Structure 1
Amino acid sequence: MEGGFTFNNLNQETAGYVAGAKAYEDSDKRDTNPNPEAYRDSQSTRIWTRFTMESGDWEIIATPYFREVNMNFVQHYLPGQPIEDTEHRSLGIQVAAYRELNNDSSFAWGIDAESTDGSLKEMQPNATTGSLFVRKTIPQGMHYDYEVEASQFALFANYDTALTDRLDLSIGARLERIDYEYDNLMLDGRTNAQGVACGFGGCRFSRPADRDDDFSDISPKIGLSYELNENHSLFMRAQRGIRAPQATELYRLQGSQTVADLDSVELDSYEVALQGAGSNWDYSASLYSMDKENEILKDSDRMNLNGSHSKHQGFELALGYDLSDSLSLRGVLNLADHTYENDLVSGGVNINGNDIDTSPDQFGNLRLVYRPANNLLAELELVHMGDYYTNPENTASYDGHDLLNLRVQYDVNDDFMVYLNVLNLTDEEYAERADWSGWVKDRYFPGEPIRAFIGFTWKY
């Protein structure tokens, strides 16, 4: 038996975007915080234990757990800057059973079960400022106050077998059901908290009546691996991923929407990979294609809909080469194409065929690793982020960046290690995240300048 306990406490002073074309290069803006009032406080707890037992030819592993997450933060990016307060408590267990079969095969099956109690409150302490429209449709006071009881149950199984001396097959599936019981603790509809109607047809916030929802989905997968020779192998995989709608997508509605009639998001993925190694080099290369349907989006009328279809195709390459006994070169390259694949209108433009915003076509890193002794390691890393569009219309973009980092680690003994990290060695002016808003146009989270960290780890 083994187990663990983790507790995390976050008291964050949140930074807002800096606005303006290439504002991350403007010294008068990049070191400022346009939203000094913003914060995020969060506490999370997780307790788990794992039991392992034998029953005949079966090895059974049971992992019960409890987790709790409480969060309070200012939505400084919204008109009126409402405060959100959420609570989640979950009790669950995973049980998995494994068995080796006589024909060079193995079989595993199990269950996941979880029960969750959650709540969400959104309250705006101050009156909204801005245009007449936002002042009349975004009232001061409570916007949402609801509780959700959710239960999730899944049954999964996986079978692995050797078809020949070189060819292996893996097949599996997961059947999952999620049930929601939603309880609105305020007045139903799109009035303010006292039941007074807003101007311009109603308040922005819509609170559906109490309701229950459930989602049942199956996720199959299949994989083949073929040993070309003792140093190189070929892999092929196909699988479907499923994501049921989240409680906020179902019950935190806006505009005239009273019911979110949503289906689960589906992602079909296909991959071919080649892996291998030589005497002083190794590699991994893969081609993938993913097709995502029923993606949940908010349309121009602020309704949550299954309205997006997208495709994601790419190539991933990882290489390693030993230049000498103490010096090696390693790198990772990702080339990808992410596109919208159905008729959607954003900003008055049909974005079918456009690149998905904030999705770079290429990124990766190159590392020069020096290990003159077993207890000393130094690494020089070049990080590349390619350019990408920042809006669905593909009319605004970020140029990307290249960063240089240095890391040194020295093991004094088996229990004590010291390290030095120097990040952004060339003091590059870049954006950690680039975005675009119809209100302020270009906006950025500026990247940090050159900085150094010295620390140690001690095991006892």
Structure 2
Amino acid sequence: MLLRTCRTIVLFTVAVTAFAGGVGHAALAQSSAESLDVVVVTGARAETSRHENTLAISVLTAEDITLLGAQHISEALNRLPGVNLNRGNGAEHLTAIRSPVLTGSQGAGSFLYLEDGVPLRAAGFANINGLFEAADGLAGRIEVVRGPGSAVYGSNALHGLVNVLTPNPSEAGRSIQLEAGTLGRVGMRGSLAGQTGLGAGWLGVSLRHEDGWRDEASLDRRVLQARLDGQQGRTNWSLRLSGMDLEQETATFVQGFKAYEDEVASRRNADPEAFRNAYALRAALHLERPLTETLSAQAVLFARSNDMQFRMHFLPSEALETSGHDSVGLQSALVWTTEDSVVRLGFDADLTQGELREFQSRPTLGPFVQGLHYDYEVDARTYALFVMAKHQLSPRLRLDAGLRWENTRYQYENNAPDGAVGRYLRLPDRSDQFDTLAPHAGWVFAVNDQASVFGRVARGVRAPQTAELYRLQPGQSVQGIKPETLDSLETGLRLRPAPNARLELTGYMMRKDNVILRDADGLTVTDARTRHHGVELEGGWDVTDTLGLEGAVSWAIHEYDFEGGAPNSSESIQKGARIDTAPEWMSNLRLNWRPSQKFHAQLEWVYMGEYFADAGNTARYDGHDLINLRLGAKVTDAFHLSLRIRNILDARYAERADFAFGEYRYFPGESRSVAISADISF
């Protein structure tokens, strides 16, 4: 394990040393040293220069997404510093951004998933696997903010946020991609863009099927998107529509110490009846209109509908959960712009009706009783006011500050008999209300044209999830559940030592209070605390005209800052203990070779460090190394072939390791797989 860590440090140290040397070479067609001066939109719901931003933002461009050809969004996001998505089965995942891999309501509520700046789900109804509802394969760009979001974003922008942006119709082309691979994978992606009678339009479709790496674990995922941009008088408008449909047979954990090393055992599915079916529909109308030379108005009117059914295979009950919600909402802002300042004053609203039902058909197993567990509805209302300001104090110093107040109100109605049934507590009808306040302030100082330093203090917040409030166990109460807060301090350095090299180094410290989590007994723990600190390095270097190196390295420590949890098991939590599923070291390094404009190759090394698999720090996973290869050939100007080989060395590894109920359990990683795709432009 020490050897693997040393290899990671040595390789990136070589790259950093080369950056500092400033060796001059021409940039590649897809340069590893992509400019830091890229435009991003996530920080303030408006275009800003990345190198002038106080947020730590990473970007995956359309070229990155196309080259990668990801089978799962984890392949894309895990290339970024501080990001670790543990892939489950099919489209499922657990997310970590400057955090451990979080589960349950923690995993659902700690990250904000957006499409063009609009949340994929209402904040109190978040989905732990929420990114499978995003149209990542069709995206024009994906932006990831590490750490708390700015004042324009509210609940769930706690540890970070992911913004999946639709392609600009004026820049998108017409193409179709066909793909086939091992493990029964086939896919099609199409893009059609052009001028219509109403404006510039774009239509995208993505279809994917896989038989599954494991027995009876097939996946079908269908995504359709459309965008139409136009102008009416002085008002610019953009209508954006998205639909996603998922049908998935789910494979469960494999049991036993290092069971993932046995390929035959890894392929077995102990619960072939487990499944997840879901759909999501979204519509958003983006409006922008100048009012005066310095004042403009912006608004987004949106609607969403989500529905999901899945078998809770990770619990002895294997209950069937049915849930969904429908929303309408508004994002709005007045923007005042002068020569050296931008002030943004906004109001947001989200009105949602949601429901959840849980039913166990299996015979009673101890406290897991047969029959109806929960059946409730929640009307949710969220209002928010925010102000943000950026000011160029001097030619070299830019200041940034903001404040967001948010009020969340839940009206809960129980459709089942009140009271306790087995391990399930069904509360009587009630209403709950939460207020949160999220400030931030930051600065960027340009040392010279090649270097800048930045810093930021911020608070991330989230109101409790509806599931945290209304899916309790006997003896628990809503009264102890408060909004979570995360206070963050970070500083960083952005370097452009030569035209062919870039580097961003960021360090952070965070403290999280009022943490809501489930212990090993399934009980909700409130008023918990955690600490987090780490260093992230991201960079690229064009070594020669044809050879480039890029990648990211992350080091982090995540610790419990309280004592509690299940007292009579190995999951008893001690203050200062490491949080489980939180590797100290992670890295992703890529070597790009482009000998001509007609051929490119990318060799990728993915390193995952060791981590504890339980809260008591008694069990651990040793980590792993993976090697991936991607080749592409431009046969003609309109025809492109790609070959992707994942896990070339056929390593036996775990996507996720866990220790629960007295034994190890794993989501085993896939064996070596091959995929071939053909892209046709017209």
Q: What is residue 249 of structure 1 aligned with on the other side?
A: 468
CA contact (8 A) 2:542 2:548 kept: yes
Q: What is residue 353 of structure 1 aligned with on the other side?
A: 576
Change (3 A) 1:301 1:76: closer
CA contact (8 A) 2:247 2:276 kept: yes
Verify: 1:284 aligned to 2:507, yes or no: no
Among residues 237, 261, 264, which one is paired with 2:456 in the alignment?
237
Q: Which moved more, 1:47-56 or 1:286-295?
A: 47-56
Deviations 1:25-77 (A, max 9, x none): 02331111111110000011111121111111222221111111100010112
Deviations 1:7-39 (A, max 9, x none): 111111101000100000023311111111100
CA shift, 1:414, in A, is 6.7
CA shift, 1:356, in A, is 0.3
Change (3 A) 1:350 1:78: closer
| Whole-Å separation in 1 of the counterparts to 2:638 and 2:325 | 37
Among residues 323, 334, 356, which one is paired with 1:97 in the alignment?
334
Counterpart AA for 1:62: A
Q: What is residue 594 of structure 2 aligned with on the other side?
A: 371
Q: What is residue 16 of structure 1 aligned with on the other side?
A: 252
Matches within 5 A, 1:220-369: 220-279=439-498, 280-299=500-519, 302-346=522-566, 347=569, 349-369=572-592
CA contact (8 A) 1:389 1:395 kept: yes
CA contact (8 A) 1:251 1:260 kept: no
Q: What is residue 369 of structure 2 aligned with on the other side?
A: 139
| Whole-Å separation in 2 of the counterparts to 1:356 and 1:301 | 17
Deviations 1:430-459 (A, max 9, x none): 0011011124x1000000011011123455
CA shift, 1:96, in A, is 2.2
Verify: 1:39 aligned to 2:275, yes or no: yes
Verify: 1:419 aligned to 2:642, yes or no: yes
Change (3 A) 1:328 1:268: same
Deviations 1:316-375 (A, max 9, x none): 111322110111111211000000011224426442111000000010111101122345
Matches within 5 A, 1:401-416: 401-411=624-634
Structure with greater contact order relative to length (CA < 8 Å, sep ≥ 6): 2
CA contact (8 A) 2:481 2:527 kept: no
CA contact (8 A) 1:407 1:422 kept: yes
CA shift, 1:298, in A, is 3.1
CA contact (8 A) 1:160 1:168 kept: yes
Q: Which runs of 5+ in 2 are unaligned?
A: 1-236
| Whole-Å separation in 1 of the counterparts to 2:637 and 2:514 | 51
Counterpart AA for 2:396: R
| Whole-Å separation in 2 of the counterparts to 1:413 and 1:63 | 41
Verify: 1:183 aligned to 2:419, yes or no: no
Q: What is residue 194 of structure 1 aligned with on the other side?
A: none
Among residues 219, 239, 244, which one is paired with 2:438 in the alignment?
219
For the aligned residue pairs, the C-alpha RMSD in angstroms reads 1.7
Deviations 1:149-178 (A, max 9, x none): 001111111111112221110011111111
Change (3 A) 1:320 1:91: same
Q: Which moved more, 1:406-415 or 1:373-382?
A: 406-415
Structure 1 vs Structure 2: percent identity of aligned residues? Answer: 38
| Whole-Å separation in 2 of the counterparts to 1:88 and 1:443 | 33
CA contact (8 A) 1:423 1:451 kept: yes
CA contact (8 A) 1:249 1:260 kept: no
CA contact (8 A) 1:260 1:305 kept: no
Q: What is residue 200 of structure 1 aligned with on the other side?
A: none
- In our comparison, the structure showing a higher alpha carbon Rg is 1
How high is the TM-score relative to the length of structure 2? 0.63
CA contact (8 A) 1:189 1:258 kept: no
Q: What is residue 157 of structure 1 aligned with on the other side?
A: 387
Counterpart AA for 1:320: G
| Whole-Å separation in 2 of the counterparts to 1:415 and 1:99 | 45
Verify: 1:88 aligned to 2:325, yes or no: yes
Counterpart AA for 1:360: P
CA contact (8 A) 2:250 2:272 kept: yes
Instruction: Specify which structure has the higher proportion of helix.
Output: 2
| Whole-Å separation in 2 of the counterparts to 1:371 and 1:329 | 12
Instruction: Specify which structure has the higher proportion of strand.
Output: 1
How high is the TM-score relative to the length of structure 1? 0.92
Q: Secondary structure at the match of 2:399?
A: strand
Aligned residues, how many? 441
| Whole-Å separation in 1 of the counterparts to 2:551 and 2:276 | 36
Among residues 45, 56, 65, which one is paired with 2:302 in the alignment?
65
Q: Which runs of 5+ in 1 are unaligned?
A: 192-202
Among residues 221, 225, 240, which one is paired with 1:4 in the alignment?
240
Q: Secondary structure at the match of 1:254?
A: coil
